[in-house]
Amino acid sequence: MLSILIPVYNYDIHPLVKELYLQGVQQEIDFEILIADDASTNPALKAKSQYYNKLEHCKVFVFSNNKGRTYTRNFLAEKAASDKILFLDADILPKKDDFLIKFLQHQSEADLIFGGIDYTTKPPSWDKRLRWKYGRNREARSLKERQENPYISIISGALFVKKDLFIKVNKELQNAYGLDSVFVENLKNTRAKILHIDNPVVHLGLESNIDFIHKSEKGLQSLVELEKENKVGIDYRAVQRAYKKLNSLGMCGAFCRFYKMYHTIIKRNLLSKNPSLFYFDLYKLNYYIRLKRA
């Protein structure tokens, strides 16, 4: 049996559930789809999600208050009937019509299987270009690239994982943004066997440029707190390694003074229709240094 688990908050999951349901039925897979609505505030979407309770193989849980993605995932994992679980974010779609079968074909080969993530080739509206550009250039890695860095390449939007392993490593229950680093660190510490295959999902839910910047800031805030608590290493992410290098050279102050002169230009670019990822890296590094020095 396969348990497909989908946390959702204010997003229309109908296309995703429809595709998964069709694949499961047509390919004669023994499956269940468990959905957890994390206190969505959109009445139309909340009402729509109740429809899935009427479908065979489907069950919807609705929270009365927002618990956060990590808690919601743990809740779904505990409810799963199978020891093989497939976590999917609400804002993705499988790229291939044998998506479910491909994971099941490799189920005995690893503790966790990741199929990759992709983005549409057509650019979104100009106010969402930063997230789209970041995804296409930083997250949509080839199979070879992912195999070379098996842990760092994991993105938790689409994971096939053993239930007991997931519950063991998904221990950070605070409602915060950017906790994937703890999840990956715990995977490494348990020496979980990772398998990368060619079975991507397409990420469709793109935040606006300003929202993505704010989420990135929240992620960096979480990262610094997790460092203090020794829950993640100090060189897991590129921004940490850049800071470590500058700090060893005594150049953090000089970098921040240099950045301050160009802050307005950089911020204007990031909110434009043609944002620069190099500028975004500078923005994040400056923000991270300020957090570290606070």
| pLDDT for the residue 283 | 98
Read off the pTM.
0.91
Distance CA 119, CA 274 (A): 17
Q: Tell me: the pLDDT tens digits for 35-94?
A: 999 999 988 887 777 788 888 899 999 998 988 888 899 999 999 999 999 999 999 999
Q: Domain spanning 2-203 has what CATH number?
A: 3.90.550.10
Give the lowest-confidence range in 50-54, 107-111, 256-260.
50-54
Quickly list H helices, the chain.
14-26, 43-49, 69-79, 99-105, 129-134, 143-148, 163-169, 180-189, 209-228, 238-248, 252-270, 277-293
Q: Tell me: the pLDDT tens digits for 115-173?
A: 999 999 999 999 999 999 999 999 999 999 999 989 888 988 899 999 999 999 887 55
Domain positions in the chain are 2-203, 209-293
The single-letter DSSP state of residue 139 is I
